[in-house]
A and B are shown apart, each in its own frame.
Chain A
């Protein structure tokens, strides 16, 4: 048991709960993403991504995930979706396209899934129900 108490949410598949551990790990990564809320920062980032990232003391792995736009990897490395979505918005990617990329399907497939009622809860409650956890 950690200082967070009951962490029964770790059994939920395909989900990163943005808890104390993630928040501490992802602080500089998320603060970089936050900076993209301002248009002048978006312009500076687009002009020279590597130089812009030098302003934020994130890990090499986090930096690579930003440059590679490894959307799911960013979350694993401590990113929070409301922050990483600002990087996506800088690329012109909205929440639905971002979700498609994180789940590894085309935008058309993802949109069709949502129109058909979304990803069902049955079979998606527990890691035990997912072959790859």
Chain B
């Protein structure tokens, strides 16, 4: 049977992708950020997952105001990295895992999570930057990817509690898939940041570090954080953190914290990263 062996959360700032693509990761500005991912790249080489599920949000790329799915699951065989307005990132095509993705869709819909099924999806920095952070710059990504898009652009996003429960349903779905696959799930976005208007540049490291503690050890408390608290305390774009709860819900109640990294700034954003393994694996 398939199993989810671990989860990881990380920010997905577009400037991180630019730094990687332009070879600037050794610069004084970027070095401390990337240093915190060296252990992570080693870790994921050792875990060597068969599939990665990436929970991320589309940033007005594949979805516009014409169509705003709250949760959308990629069931395609491949995903083209998108031109978001400044050209395509020079990263490999993302290969999908349609068999598992379709199984997940069927399982969670019958589990009463009414996902949108997506068969054509250009993926933006929300998905490709986490892949670059964890896998570096390979000629081909080392494993297939299943994208799960969460709307966090149009208010209101799903609640943290809904995200945690969707994660649990995804965990059940993966465990009921009749093939021996080792799956890792990424929850992406955050941490505190505000990109817009007069309060742009807001960072709240106290909130962020408390959230890192809660996501690891008290996810129910993290799931109870109301939207207004994210907006006020973590900035209008900090509400992306609800996506970490999908990742956390897919893991066991008790997890082993393998690694944690926090760095300010990447462009406008506080970068947070955590790796959690199921204790049973």
Contacts and interface: CB of A to CB of B under 8 A. Distances in A.
A121 B204 contact: yes
Most buried by B among A4, A80, A90, A104: A80
Contacts of B84: 37, 86, 89
B198 A72 contact: yes
Contacts of A31: 64-66
Contacts of A83: 60
Contacts of B87: 39
B155 A19 contact: yes
Dominant secondary structure of chain A at its interface with chain B = helix
A28 B205 CA distance: 37
A62 interface: no
A66 interface: no
B65 A17 contact: no
A9 B198 contact: no
Interface residues of B, number: 46
A102 B265 CA distance: 19
Contacts of A86: 60, 84-85
Interface string B197-208: 111111111110
B165 interface: no
Contacts of B195: 81, 85, 95, 98-99
A124 B199 contact: yes
Given A90-B85, A95-B15, A121-B207, A82 B201 contact: no
Interface string B177-212: 000000000000000101111111111111100000
A106 interface: no
A114 interface: yes
A113 interface: yes
A59 interface: no
A12 B231 contact: yes
B26 interface: no
Nearest to A90: B85
B196 A118 contact: no
Contact of A15 (B66, B82, B196, B205): B196
A103 B196 CA distance: 9
A111 B1 CA distance: 49
B202 A119 contact: yes
B228 interface: yes
Contacts of A16: 196-197, 236
B61 interface: yes
Interface string A117-133: 11111001110000000
A99 B200 contact: yes
Given A19-B155, A37-B85, A121-B204, A14 B15 contact: no
Contacts of B227: 9
A89 B86 contact: yes
B83 A34 contact: no
B85 A36 contact: yes
Given A30-B64, A34-B64, A102 B196 contact: yes
Interface of A: 4, 6, 8-9, 11-20, 23, 27, 30-31, 33-34, 36-39, 42, 72, 75, 80-83, 85-86, 89-90, 94-96, 98-99, 102-104, 110, 113-115, 117-121, 124-126
Interface of B: 14-15, 18, 59-61, 64-66, 82-87, 153-156, 192, 194-207, 227-228, 231-233, 236-237, 264-265, 267-268, 270
19 contacts: A12-B199, A15-B198, A15-B236, A19-B155, A23-B65, A82-B60, A86-B60, A86-B85, A90-B85, A94-B86, A95-B14, A96-B268, A102-B198, A110-B201, A114-B203, A114-B265, A121-B206, A125-B232, A126-B232
